């Protein structure tokens, strides 16, 4: 694929095939140069173990809706293990009308936010999309620590290609999932581009050598 973004028929393969070792190394180096902590791991099983090492016992943890987290078992680990305080589990018990402000604060500033991305560029940017916006404040600096688990198929050359991956590949898959789960379609209502972690929080990218998630 070289340094140019894939086009048309090539996109489908490019957006699902794991990046090779050279592209992963280039992406990791670019992320590190921009201030992210980066670890290249073999697979989701390794990320599952590493997550437990990175998150302090007793931390309030918010997991963004993510097929990567679900398929890897990380979502279940963090929301059922009494080592952590699950923000998602707490929010599900709260009244969306009378406790809306409390819910907003809990989601915006957890101790740790864990999720994935729609794309990561070889130039060192993370692209995160949302329909509701609930996970974006934590990722943008509200959380004391943010951790992103990123499959190798999400590596793209640049932001233009990241946008195409989001709209042409990720959204249709998430739309299908949302219709089955919630009875309503998804949408790209907000897009967050992180070119560096904020000075208020630590940002760690666990970049996998395998493909997982969208």
Tell me the domains of the chain and their CATH numbers. 17-208 (3.40.50.10420)
Residue pair 124/157 in contact by the 8 Å Cβ criterion: no
pTM of the model: 0.92
pLDDT in tens, the chain (214 residues): 344 444 444 454 579 999 999 999 999 999 999 999 999 999 999 999 999 999 999 999 999 999 999 999 999 999 999 999 999 999 999 999 999 999 999 999 999 999 999 999 999 999 999 999 999 999 999 999 999 999 999 999 999 999 999 999 999 999 999 999 889 999 999 999 999 998 778 899 999 999 999 9
* Nearest CA-CA partner of 63 in 125, 116, 127: 116
Contacts of 139 (CB under 8 A, 6+ apart): 64, 113, 115, 128, 146, 148, 192, 194
Mode of pairing for the β-strands spanning 126-130 and 190-194: antiparallel
């Amino acid at each position: 694929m070289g340094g140019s973004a894939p086009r048309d028929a090539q996109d489908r393969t490019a957006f699902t095939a794991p990046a090779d070792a050279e592209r992963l190394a280039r992406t990791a180096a670019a992320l590190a140069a921009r201030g992210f902590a980066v670890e290249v791991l073999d697979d989701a099983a390794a990320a599952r173990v590493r997550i437990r090492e990175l998150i302090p016992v007793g931390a309030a943890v918010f997991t963004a809706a993510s097929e990567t987290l679900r398929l890897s078992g990380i979502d279940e680990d963090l929301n059922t293990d009494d080592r952590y305080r699950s923000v998602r589990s707490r929010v599900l018990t709260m009244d969306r009308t009378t406790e809306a402000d409390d819910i907003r604060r809990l989601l915006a500033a957890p101790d740790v936010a864990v999720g994935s991305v729609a794309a990561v560029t070889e130039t060192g940017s993370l692209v995160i999309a949302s329909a509701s916006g609930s996970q974006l404040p934590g990722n943008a600096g509200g959380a004391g620590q943010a951790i992103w688990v990123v499959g190798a198929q999400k590596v793209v050359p640049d932001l233009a290609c990241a946008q195409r991956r989001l709209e042409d590949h990720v959204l249709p898959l998430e739309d299908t999932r949302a219709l089955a789960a919630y009875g309503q379609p998804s949408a790209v209502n907000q897009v967050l581009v992180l070119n560096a972690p904020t000075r208020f929080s630590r940002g760690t990218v666990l970049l996998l050598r395998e493909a997982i998630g969208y």
